[in-house]
C-alpha cells in the first residue's frame, strides 16, 4: 500500500509518499493516519505535494470558500481529532460520506470514522466502518494492524472477527492480507505445493484407472468366455480406490495444516505490532526488537507474574547474556483501555519505524543505526503498553495450543520474533539459562 504523511502548518498541508498519512500540528498533539490518500496534485522537485489548508469556519471567507466538500470535511475532521474533539471529528467524517466523495475520500472518511469509534470504545461501529473500507475502497489490512489509533480496537472481540475474515479472505475483506500470509507460509513450508501437486496428479491417475476398470469388473461379474479374472480385477480396483482415499486424505491434511499455519502467522504478525515501553521510557513495537532480544512473556495472575519476576532476578546475569527481556502481562489490568489525556509535559519517546529491505541503502543504514541505539536502551525488563491487546493475543495463543484460557503461562520468543516454546506456571530460569545460547554465539546468529 502506498500511504502518505501529512504535516500541517498555518498555510499548507504537505504530503509525502514514505509512511502512513498523519496530521501533525505545530504543537505536540496526537497523530491520525489517513491511509492511501493518493493525491493527483502537482509534485514539486522534492517529491512532496502542497495545497492550501482548508478551513470550514472563517468569517472572512467568501460563500464559495465556505462550501463544504468531502475533502474539506475529511481535513477538518482530522484537525478536530488531533485536538481531541472526537465527537465533532466523527460528525465531519459522516458529513464527508454524504457529499458524494470519490473513492480516496470515501476510504479516508470510513477509516478515520473507525478511528473515532475505536477511541469511543464502539467496537462494532469501528468494525463495520473498516469492513466497508476493506471491501469497497481497497484499504490494506496491514494499516489496521499498524495504526496506534486503533490499539484499543485491536483488543476487542470485533477485531478478532475482522482479522479472521481477512485471514480466510472472504468477500474481499483483506484479500491482500491472506495473499501475504500465504507467501510467508510458502517460505516456511516450501514442499507443501509439491506434495499437493503429486496428490492431485496421483488421485487423477488412480481415478482414470478406476474408470477404465469398471467395464472389466462388470465383465468379470457376468462371466463367460474371455471374461477377466474377477479376483485380479477386483484387486486392481481396490488399489485404485485405496490410492484415491490416501491422496485425497493427504491433500486435505495439507490444507488443514496450511490454515493452522496461516492462523499462527497471523497471530505472529499481531504479536510483532504489540507495543512495549523500555526502561528509558521509549515506546517500541515488538518487531523493532527482533535480532536484539529474546522476549519472555510472563502472563497470568499478579501473584504468579510477580513470583516469576522475583525468581528471574537470581539468574539476571546469565539471562541478560542470552538476550532475555522480561515482559510481564497481568490478566485483568487492561480490560478498560486507558485514554491518554492531552496536555503539557514530556511525551513518551517513540522509536522510528525500521525501513523494509526494499528501501534504499541510506535508509537501511539509518535503520541499523536506530537498531543499535535501541539495543543500548534495552534492559532486563519492559512494560507493556495497551495491556488489553497483549492479553487478547495471549488468550488466542492459549486457545490454539489447547491450554485453558486464563491460565498462568510463559512464552519464550526467538530472536526472529516467532514463538520458541511455552509452558504453564513459573518458568525454570536455571533450565532456560542452560537452554538458550549467548546472544553473540553462532547458534544465536542462526536463529536470526
User: Of the ranges 61-75, 91-105, 374-388, which one carries the lowest mean pLDDT score?
Assistant: 61-75
pLDDT at 372 (0 to 100): 57
Number of domains in the chain: 3
Same domain, 194 and 71: no
Do the bridges between strand 49-52 and strand 5-8 make them parallel or antiparallel, or are there none, so unpaired? unpaired
If you average pLDDT over residues 168-173, what whole number do you get? Answer: 62
Same domain, 198 and 152: no
If you average pLDDT over residues 352-380, what whole number do you get? Answer: 50
Same domain, 143 and 165: yes
pLDDT at 247 (0 to 100): 92
Q: In this structure, what C-alpha cell is assigned to residue 31?
A: 497523530
If you average pLDDT over residues 52-57, what whole number do you get? Answer: 35
Same domain, 284 and 230: no
Alpha-carbon span 177 to 253, nearest angstrom: 23
pLDDT band of 140, cuts 50, 70, 90: confident
User: Of the ranges 107-121, 179-193, 430-444, which one carries the lowest mean pLDDT score?
Assistant: 179-193
Q: CA 140 → CA 74, 136, 232, 386, distances in Å? A: 19, 11, 59, 23
Alpha-carbon span 407 to 410, nearest angstrom: 10
pLDDT at 114 (0 to 100): 92
Distance of CA 359 to the CA centre of its chain: 21
User: Of the ranges 232-236, 349-353, 401-405, which one carries the lowest mean pLDDT score?
Assistant: 349-353
Same domain, 392 and 297: yes
Residue ending a domain, choose from 246, 270, 294: 270
In this model, does residue 292 exceed pLDDT 80? yes
User: Of the ranges 235-239, 364-368, 432-436, which one carries the lowest mean pLDDT score?
Assistant: 364-368
In this model, does residue 396 exceed pLDDT 50? yes
Same domain, 244 and 139: no
If you average pLDDT over residues 50-68, what whole number do you get? Answer: 42
Residue ending a domain, choose from 243, 270, 297: 270
H helix count then E strand count, the chain: 16, 11
Same domain, 213 and 225: yes
Same domain, 284 and 216: no
pLDDT at 169 (0 to 100): 65
Same domain, 326 and 307: yes
Q: Which of 160, 78, 68 is nearest to 111 (CA)?
A: 78
Same domain, 180 and 230: no
Which residues form the domain of 379? 275-340+348-447
pLDDT band of 163, cuts 50, 70, 90: confident
Tell me which of 178 and 273 has the higher pLDDT: 273
Where do the DSSP E strands lie in 292-398?
294-300, 324-330, 349-350, 383-384
Alpha-carbon span 45 to 202, nearest angstrom: 59
82-114 residue pLDDT tens: 888 999 999 999 999 999 899 999 999 999 999
pTM: 0.55
Residue ending a domain, choose from 166, 185, 204: 185
Alpha-carbon span 371 to 28, nearest angstrom: 25
Same domain, 153 and 76: yes
Q: In this structure, what C-alpha cell is assigned to residue 338?
A: 486507558
Alpha-carbon span 272 to 166, nearest angstrom: 18
Same domain, 194 and 319: no
Q: Using an 8 Å Cβ cutoff, are 419 and 299 in contact? A: no
If you average pLDDT over residues 372-387, what whole number do you get? Answer: 76
Task: Indicate which CATH number applies to the domain containing 399.
Answer: 3.40.30
Amino acid at each position: 500500500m502506498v500511504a502518505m504523511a501529512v504535516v500541517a502548518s498555518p498555510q499548507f498541508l504537505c504530503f509525502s509518499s514514505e509512511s502512513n498519512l498523519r496530521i501533525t500540528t505545530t504543537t505536540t498533539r496526537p497523530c491520525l493516519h489517513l491511509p492511501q490518500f493518493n493525491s493527483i496534485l502537482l509534485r514539486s522537485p522534492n517529491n512532496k505535494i502542497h495545497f492550501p489548508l482548508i478551513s470550514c469556519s472563517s468569517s472572512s471567507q467568501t460563500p464559495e470558500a465556505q462550501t463544504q466538500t468531502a475533502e474539506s470535511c475529511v481535513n477538518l475532521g482530522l484537525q478536530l481529532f488531533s485536538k481531541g474533539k472526537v465527537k465533532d471529528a466523527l460528525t465531519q467524517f459522516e458529513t464527508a460520506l454524504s457529499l458524494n466523495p470519490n473513492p480516496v475520500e470515501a476510504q479516508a472518511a470510513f477509516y478515520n470514522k473507525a478511528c473515532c469509534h475505536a477511541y469511543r470504545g464502539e467496537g462494532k461501529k469501528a468494525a463495520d466502518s473498516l469492513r466497508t473500507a476493506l471491501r469497497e475502497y481497497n484499504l490494506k489490512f496491514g494499516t489496521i494492524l499498524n495504526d496506534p489509533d486503533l490499539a484499543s480496537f485491536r483488543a476487542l472481540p470485533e477485531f478478532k472477527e475482522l482479522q479472521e475474515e481477512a485471514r480466510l479472505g472472504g468477500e474481499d475483506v483483506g484479500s491482500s492480507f491472506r495473499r501475504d500470509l500465504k507467501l510467508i507460509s510458502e517460505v516456511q513450508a516450501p514442499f507443501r505445493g509439491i506434495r499437493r501437486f503429486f496428490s492431485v496428479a496421483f488421485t487423477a491417475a488412480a481415478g482414470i484407472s478406476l474408470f477404465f476398470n469398471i467395464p472389466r469388473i462388470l465383465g468379470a461379474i457376468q462371466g463367460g468366455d474371455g471374461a477377466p479374472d474377477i479376483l485380479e480385477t477386483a484387486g486392481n480396483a481396490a488399489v485404485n480406490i485405496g490410492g484415491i482415499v490416501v491422496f485425497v486424505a493427504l491433500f486435505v491434511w495439507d490444507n488443514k495444516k496450511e490454515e493452522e499455519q496461516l492462523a499462527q502467522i497471523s497471530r505472529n504478525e499481531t504479536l510483532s505490532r504489540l507495543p512495549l515501553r523500555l526502561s528509558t521510557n521509549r515506546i517500541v513495537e515488538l518487531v523493532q526488537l527482533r535480532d536484539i532480544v529474546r522476549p519472555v512473556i510472563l502472563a497470568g495472575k499478579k501473584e504468579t507474574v510477580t513470583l516469576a519476576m522475583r525468581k528471574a532476578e537470581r539468574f539476571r546475569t546469565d539471562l541478560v547474556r542470552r538476550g532475555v527481556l522480561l515482559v510481564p502481562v497481568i490478566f485483568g489490568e487492561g480490560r478498560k483501555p486507558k485514554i491518554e489525556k492531552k496536555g503539557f509535559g514530556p511525551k513518551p519517546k517513540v522509536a522510528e519505524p525500521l525501513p523494509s529491505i526494499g528501501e534504499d541503502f541510506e535508509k537501511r543504514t539509518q535503520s541499523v543505526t536506530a537498531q543499535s541505539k535501541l539495543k543500548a536502551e534495552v534492559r532486563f525488563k519492559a512494560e507493556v503498553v495497551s495491556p488489553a491487546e497483549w492479553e487478547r493475543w495471549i488468550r488466542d495463543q492459549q486457545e490454539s495450543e489447547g491450554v485453558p484460557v486464563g491460565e498462568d503461562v510463559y512464552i519464550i520468543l526467538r530472536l526472529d520474533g516467532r514463538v520458541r516454546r511455552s509452558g504453564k506456571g513459573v518458568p525454570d530460569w536455571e533450565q532456560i539459562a542452560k537452554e538458550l545460547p549467548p546472544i553473540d554465539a553462532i547458534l544465536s546468529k542462526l536463529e536470526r
